[in-house]
Amino acid sequence: MRISIFQNKKNTFFGIFIWLIIWEIAYLAISQDIYLPSPFSVLISMIDIIQEKEFYRIIVMTSYRVCLSFFLSVLLGLATGLICGLNQKIFEIFEPLVILIRSTPVISIIILAIIWFKSSYSPVFTGFLMCFPVIWTNMVQGIRSTDTRLLEMCQIYEISFLSKLRHVYLPSALPFIFSGFSTALGLTWKVVAAAEVLSLPKYGIGSKLHDSKAYLEIPQLFAWTTIIILLSFIFEFILTRIFAKNYAYQYKED
């Protein structure tokens, strides 16, 4: 097992190395930083960015907006998804709304959020609204995937609803819930950053992306983009570890 994990990591790092070489070759072929900076110049820009006084405050504020919008989408998505998964009539009421939100262009939601909210909270609203359908849909699918034979057995033995919810519905929905969490978290980072680019809060990665574009500081633009990717990866890794640990504990307890 350890050899397999080591080999997978080795292959991953090798793949990253290959793509960096391709990036460098493309840079040498174009030879214009304004279109494509070199990996080395992006690295230097990232080091300079990290040394700025406001760097950590920017990271904290964007992370706060991501976490808040993700938490709101999870809270409401799981609650309403559970109810809709159990009740077909309520599902039919919510489904048109979810389809409408899912079909609305992100840019339209961002513009409306800027009109309705302050610059600091429009990214939160946008992130919540774009991620809610993901959580809701996965929760509904998870509840509806419950084995009907288990439900029939619970009915025969007159198992209480709370016991059914804890020991039958939720274990069945857990894989769907985790899939929704993973997808929504990555989407939240993208949407919040995009909303910050337009709403321009005082502290935000998106605001720095806007400034880099406005002043044609392309290495910084790539550096900030890389920082977003790294943060998204770190948050998703933490979420995966937490979920795996809780899932293992739940399995052991049951």
How confident is the model over 219-254, as pLDDT tens digits?
999 999 999 999 999 998 888 887 776 655 554 555
Q: Are residues 16 and 139 both part of a single domain?
A: no
pLDDT tens-place string over residues 192-213 = 999 999 999 989 999 999 998 8
Residues 104 and 220 reside in one and the same domain:
yes
Q: What is the pLDDT of residue 125?
A: 94
17 and 75, same domain (yes or no): no
Residue of 21 and 151 predicted with greater confidence: 21
Do 6 and 117 share a domain, yes or no? no
Domain range for residue 19? 1-31
Q: What per-residue confidence (pLDDT) applies to 8?
A: 56
Query: Cα(165)–Cα(169) distance, rounded to whole angstroms?
Result: 5
Q: Give the total number of structural domains in the chain.
A: 2
Percent of the chain past pLDDT 70, that is, above it, reads 92
CATH number at residue 249: 1.10.3720.10
Tell me: the pLDDT tens digits for 106-150? 989 999 999 998 888 899 999 999 999 999 999 999 888 887 787
pLDDT at 5: 43
What's the pLDDT score for residue 65? 94
pLDDT band at 9 (very low <50, low <70, confident <90, very high): low
Q: Which residues contact 225 (CB under 8 A, 6 or more apart)?
A: 209
pLDDT on residue 223: 94
pLDDT at residue 2 is higher than 60 = no
Q: Is residue 95 domain-shared with residue 166, that is, in the same domain?
A: yes
Note whether 246 and 158 are same-domain residues: yes
Please list, in sequence order, all residues whose beta carbon lies within 8 angstroms of the beta carbon of residue 27, skipping any fewer than 6 positions away. 36, 37, 38, 39
Output the pLDDT for position 224.
94
Residue 74 has pLDDT above 90, yes or no: yes
C-beta separation of 101 from 133 below 8 A: yes
Q: Which pLDDT score, from 0 to 100, does residue 247 have? A: 57
Give the mean pLDDT of 5-33: 77
Read off the pLDDT of each residue in 141-161 and give the average, rounded to a whole number: 79
Please check whether residues 50 and 21 belong to one and the same domain. no
Question: Do 5 and 88 belong together in one domain?
Answer: no
- Residue 242 is predicted with a pLDDT of 79
Looking at the structure, tell me whether residues 85 and 164 fall in a common domain.
yes
Same domain, 125 and 207: yes
Q: For residue 146, what pLDDT is reported?
A: 81
Residue type at 15?
G
Residue 89, judged by CB atoms within 10 A of its CB (0-12, 13-18, 19+), counts as exposed
Same domain, 82 and 186: yes
